[in-house]
């Protein structure tokens, strides 16, 4: 553990995403600025308590401050904050959004994530890589994604209640909600996204270790908000492909109309 890194000594869970180091760096520099501001303003406050104590200043001054130190300090802090935003946050955001096209070509794992009161459902596209049509009228319960099985793309789709993703390959998660606004947050992957009913918003990351961890809801969404902690597993790419194939094949079997039994004519 690096004792100079607030993202480590503030007990934030360890990072397991390829881009996460830069998020942690951002957390570090912002915290160091905030620590400096806290210490600086505290010292200034104590100084004014002493400097302008009543016993030394029985009469109020109606002139006020005569030098410009506080203005210079304020401008300095604004410049520092601008550097954090323009020098660190914007480039990280740009890299994440600019690489979107490239990520599409890296054979990403795709999952739709549906938030509901109170839990998450995962909708996988199956072996064809295409999500079946969604029809909101088909939802049997609040946790049902409403997959339309009359769409050929839907036949190999499957759903799970645990998020399973491969290691070392990008994962694109399309986040949506069946009811209110939630927020899908995977802290060890340093990523989160609002889940908004009627919209599907993609987020992506590359998990770089195999692990079992949890996902949470990052938006107060009702009395069961705290129960929205879900399970997530990152497994090797080979195991992932095998698992996804099995699930997909089982879905095809489940969803295909009964084969007509061959008649044996004597
Ligand atoms: Cu929620």
At 130-157, the pLDDT tens digits run 999 998 888 888 899 999 998 889 999 9
Domain end call among 81, 98, 115: 98
Domain end call among 66, 98, 130: 98
Domain count, the chain: 2
Average pLDDT on 5-22 reads: 88
Looking at residue 92, what is its pLDDT?
Answer: 87
The domain in which residue 57 lies consists of 6-98
Which CATH number goes with the domain that contains 10? Answer: 1.10.287
Same domain for 115 and 82 = no
Same domain for 110 and 54 = no
Q: Tell how far the Cα of 231 is from the centroid of ligand 1, in angstroms.
A: 15
265 pLDDT more than 70: no
Q: Tell how far the Cα of 143 is from the centroid of ligand 1, in angstroms.
A: 12
Same domain for 135 and 86 = no
Spell out the long-range contacts of 224-232 with Cβ–Cβ below 8 A and sequence spacing 24 or more: 224/117, 224/118, 225/118, 227/118, 227/119, 228/115, 228/118, 228/119, 228/120, 228/182, 230/119, 230/120, 230/161, 230/162, 230/163, 231/161, 231/162, 231/163, 232/162, 232/163, 232/164, 232/165, 232/186
Q: Tell how far the Cα of 44 is from the centroid of ligand 1, in angstroms.
A: 42
Same domain for 207 and 87 = no
Q: Tell how far the Cα of 125 is from the centroid of ligand 1, in angstroms.
A: 24
Which CATH number goes with the domain that contains 214? Answer: 2.60.40.420
0.75 cut: is pTM over it? yes
112 closest CA partner among 179, 180, 158, 153: 158
Same domain for 107 and 76 = no
Q: Tell how far the Cα of 245 is from the centroid of ligand 1, in angstroms.
A: 30
Same domain for 183 and 74 = no
The reply to whether 194 falls in a domain is: yes
Same domain for 94 and 47 = yes
- pLDDT tens digit string along 193-232? 999 999 999 999 999 999 999 999 999 999 999 999 999 9
Same domain for 118 and 56 = no
Q: Tell how far the Cα of 189 is from the centroid of ligand 1, in angstroms.
A: 18
Same domain for 112 and 25 = no
The reply to whether 52 falls in a domain is: yes
Q: Tell how far the Cα of 220 is from the centroid of ligand 1, in angstroms.
A: 6
Domain end call among 98, 120, 141: 98
Contact present, 160 and 122 (Cβ < 8 Å): yes
The reply to whether 260 falls in a domain is: no
Same domain for 211 and 113 = yes
Same domain for 245 and 133 = yes
Same domain for 138 and 61 = no
Looking at residue 110, what is its pLDDT?
Answer: 96
């Amino acid at each position: 553990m690096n004792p100079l890194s607030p993202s480590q000594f503030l007990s934030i869970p360890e990072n397991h995403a390829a881009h996460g180091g830069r998020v942690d760096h951002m957390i570090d520099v912002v915290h160091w600025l905030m620590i400096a501001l806290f210490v600086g303003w505290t010292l200034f406050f104590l100084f004014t308590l002493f400097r302008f104590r009543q016993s030394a200043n029985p009469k109020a001054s109606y002139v006020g401050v005569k030098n410009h130190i506080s203005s210079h300090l304020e401008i300095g802090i604004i410049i520092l904050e601008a550097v954090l935003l323009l020098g660190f946050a914007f480039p990280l955001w740009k890299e994440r959004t600019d690489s979107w096209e490239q990520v599409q070509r890296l054979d990403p794992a795709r999952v739709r994530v549906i938030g509901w009161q109170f839990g998450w459902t995962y909708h996988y596209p199956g072996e064809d890589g295409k999500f079946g049509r969604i029809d909101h009228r088909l939802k049997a319960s609040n946790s049902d994604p409403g997959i339309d099985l009359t769409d050929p793309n839907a036949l190999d789709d499957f759903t799970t209640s645990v998020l399973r993703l491969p290691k070392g390959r990008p994962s694109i998660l399309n986040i949506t909600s069946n009811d209110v606004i939630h927020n899908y947050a995977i802290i060890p992957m340093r990523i989160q996204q609002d889940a908004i009913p009627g919209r599907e918003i993609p987020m992506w990351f590359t998990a770089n270790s195999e692990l079992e961890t949890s996902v949470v809801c990052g938006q107060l969404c009702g009395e069961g908000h705290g129960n929205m902690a879900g399970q997530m597993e990152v497994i090797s790419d080979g195991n992932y492909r095998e698992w996804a194939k099995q699930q997909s094949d089982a879905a095809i079997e489940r969803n295909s109309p009964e084969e007509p039994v061959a008649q044996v004519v004597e």
